[in-house]
Structure 1
Amino acid sequence: MRLPTFTQNPTRPVEIKDRSVSDLMDAMQYTGFQGRKLAESVKAWENMLKDENVTIFMGLSGAMVPAGMRKVITYLIENRLIDCLVSTGANIFHDCHEALGLKHYVGSHMANDEELFEHGVDRIYDVFAYEEEFRNTDHFIADFAKRHDGEQYSSREFIRLLGKEISERGDSQSIIASAYKHNVPIFIPALCDSSIGIGLTIARRFGCNVNIDQIKDVDEITQMVELSEKTGVIYVGGGVPKNFIQQTEVVASIMGHEVAGHEYAIQYTADVPHWGGLSGCTFDEAVSWGKIAKEAKKVQVFADATIALPIVTQALYEKTKDQVRKTPSFNWEEGQANIYFETL
């Protein structure tokens, strides 16, 4: 005997025809496995953008900028499909590198690494770059830091200043320049674990000391959550950026604020839950910590982000390009965040 409550919604084979990416994503909602999850993530993100008073946080890990995702992230910032970016330092370093006119190159994962080393070429799987050019970018950051000798900043404050510098150089494709122009805060909670940290170390060795206050980072991003009526999260990979955003709910709760967890949650990851690591852990597990709301609209896509992110963003472009969104923006005065809304 059939159980009708289980069989109300038949799968629908995908048709191959002349259509947009967003239309394909709509069709894939009736397929299975990670194809359906990819389509569901587009729908969840679209609904998040339609929901009023939602602050959207993105966590960015993995070598996304060297892998060609730079303009995708820039689009998300410029069109306010996200309201805050938490990134590894490496992605922002590589963004600065390209902003200075330097390149990453199509390579091969089959290359001879000893030969690459002899020619001063670094390999990121199948992407190449020149070590000497990376060091030039290290020194650019060091020279920038020297102009701020003796100052203390959160990573958000420091990256905003660096974004202003890049913006004034005229690079419109830079993640940090776009974030500066559109008032989207960028946090790097493990800034020292990157070539930005190397640049700051170079500056310190030459007598310049710029102190990055990472505890101030925790306070600033938690204030954003405390001021937001609702929050949504999107994770590209996992790692430090994911946990840094997740823990805001715990910190806010400890500080006496009524929070119920992030209300929307999307993740694109190649990691899996059964190793016990954060990058692959499910959003259901996060509910036990109070980091994700019990009723949250949550979708995890187990896929390579360099495949998923361009497809999802293209679909969102088609679905939201004419949409008007009231975006939350933040400023900080004397250590205290304020929220205001703009229509985009």
Structure 2
Amino acid sequence: MKPVEPIEVAEKKISELLLAMAKTGFQGRKLGEAFEIWLEMLKEDEITIFMGLSGAMVPAGMRKIISWLIRNRYIDVLVSTGANIFHDIHEALGFKHYLGSEIVDDYELFKKGIDRIYNVFAYEEEFNRVDYVLANIISGIEGIMSSRQFLEEIAKRLEVKDRDSILVSAYESDVPIFCPAIADSSIGIASSIASRKVVVDTMKDVEELTEIVVNSKKTGVIFIGGGVPKNFIQQAEIVARLKGYEVRGHEYAIQITTDTPQFGGLSGCTFEEGVSWGKINRKARKVQVNCDATIALPILSHALIGVKRKRVPRVRYEGRSD
């Protein structure tokens, strides 16, 4: 057994602090291990790193972190809820989310046209304006396409005031974004009021994501929360196997979640459980950090600043081959 190494208070980089935390206990160690695993992934020559993004991360102020991870190629594929992408578009158009409070009369907020996301506020009227902007854009898109293609078409047409956007960064960096439950968001609301000539075929999402997995020598996953993004990335291993391909399961896995496994939900289920499905390689380097992502993600991302390794995009799917 190795001894616990108490952390000394001294001037140090965040990366050095996390590496020290990896030698302590409880969730501090788990966060340190998450950093170590992310570093190991970045050292691999041929790996595709998937990120699953759920929860209200953009309203909570995590938007520029995800954009930075995309532009610096710390992730290769993003699978997100539609809500995070809508809120990203909201801010890209110049609107804001505001510091609020969870101790408030919500009916008074309703009367004032203010929407609450725990202790973050936003104006309903501004959301509606974004709905109409998106509806106008969507009305000009035609065809049957995956959510990735659909979001790329929106990115092409979006006149943004802030290019430090998840959607714009992904489009300019050739990082695909998938939203398999895109209708469950204000993007779905905007589509419902558009003169729609486009059909988003989420079965194409399954095919494209599986193709990326099949064409990857190795895969790693980083889950911020759980839900649909987590399951969608996980199930690509199963789909590939059913199609007759030899896949080994994700070989690196990080999850940051506040959910626990005892209640049977996917957001809290462990990677060990994923091994039983063949989604995670039994020898995978894996860690589950039980922590609010708005705490863990800023710390991890700032620790990555010192990682200078240049990564080459290796994502391959229909219509694209690097």
1: CA distance between counterparts of 2:161 and 2:291? 35
Find 1:146's aligned residue among 120, 139, 146. 139
Gaps of 5+ in 2: none
The equivalent of 2:110 in structure 1 is 117
Residue 190 (1) aligns with residue 181 (2): yes
> For the Cα contact (< 8 Å) 1:163–1:179, is it kept in 2?
no
Q: Is the 8 A contact 2:70 2:173 kept in 1?
A: yes
Aligned to 1:87: 80
Report the TM-score, using the length of structure 1 for normalisation.
0.92
1:269 corresponds in structure 2 to 257
Aligned residues: 322
* 2:315 alignment counterpart: 329
Q: Give the Å deviation of 1:11.
A: 0.5
Contact residue 171 and residue 177 of structure 1 kept, 8 A: no
Give the Cα–Cα distance (whole angstroms) in 2 for the partners of residues 77 and 108 of structure 1. 31
Structure 2 residue matching 1:115: 3-state secondary structure: helix
What is the CA distance between 1:317 and its match in structure 2? 1.4
Aligned to 2:43: 50
Deviation at 1:93, TM superposition (A): 0.1
CA–CA separation in structure 1 for the residues paired with 2:187 and 2:233: 21
1:160 counterpart = 2:148: no
- For residues 107-142 of structure 1, what are the alpha-carbon distances to aligned partners after superposition, in whole Å with 9 as ceiling and x for unaligned? 000011011001000000000000010011111110
Once residues 202 and 117 of structure 1 are traced to their aligned partners in structure 2, the CA distance between those partners, rounded to angstroms, is: 23
Letter in 2 for 1:158: F
* 1:176 matches 2:167: yes
Larger radius of gyration: 1
Whether the 8 Å CA contact 1:172–1:178 is kept in 2: the answer is yes
**1:45-84 equivalent positions in 2, closer than 5 A:** 45-84=38-77
* Aligned-pair CA distance for 1:18: 1.2
Give the AA of the match of 1:212. Answer: V
Q: How far 1:208 sits from its partner (Å)?
A: 2.5
TM-score by length of 2: 0.98
Pick one of 85, 91, 101 that aligns with 1:108: 101
Give 1:326 shift.
Answer: 2.9
Q: Does 1:299 align with 2:292?
A: no
Give the whole-Å Cα distance in 2 for the aligned partners of 1:249 and 1:330.
16
Separation of aligned partners in 2, 1:143 and 1:69: 27
Stretches of structure 1 that go unaligned for 5 or more consecutive residues are 1-6
Q: What is the deviation of 1:325?
A: 2.2
The Cα shift of 1:72 comes to 0.4
Q: Shift of residue 332 of structure 1?
A: 2.8
Alignment of 1:222-237 (within 5 A): 222-237=210-225
* SS at 2:181 equivalent: coil
Paired with 2:49 and 2:310, the residues of 1 have a C-alpha distance of 16
Contact 2:248 2:281 in 1 (8 A): yes
Question: How far apart in 1 are the matches of 2:196 and 2:12?
Answer: 56
Taking only aligned residues, the RMSD between alpha carbons, in angstroms, comes to 1.1
**Distance in structure 2 (CA, Å) of the matches to 1:55 and 1:291:** 15
Kept in 2, the 8 Å contact 1:249–1:261? The answer is yes
Residue of structure 1 in register with 2:27 after alignment = 34
Amino acid at match of 2:220: G
Secondary structure in structure 1 of the residue aligned to 2:230: helix
Identity %: 57
The one-letter code sitting in structure 1 at the alignment partner of 2:200 is I
CA contact (8 A) 2:60 2:294 kept: yes
Report the residue type matching 1:41 in the other structure: A
One-letter identity of the residue aligned with 2:151:
I
CA apart distance, 1:331? 5.2
One-letter amino acid matched to 2:19: D
Residue 10 of structure 1 is aligned with which of 3, 6, 14?
3
Match of 1:3 in 2: none
Higher mean C-alpha deviation, range 324-333 or range 103-112: 324-333
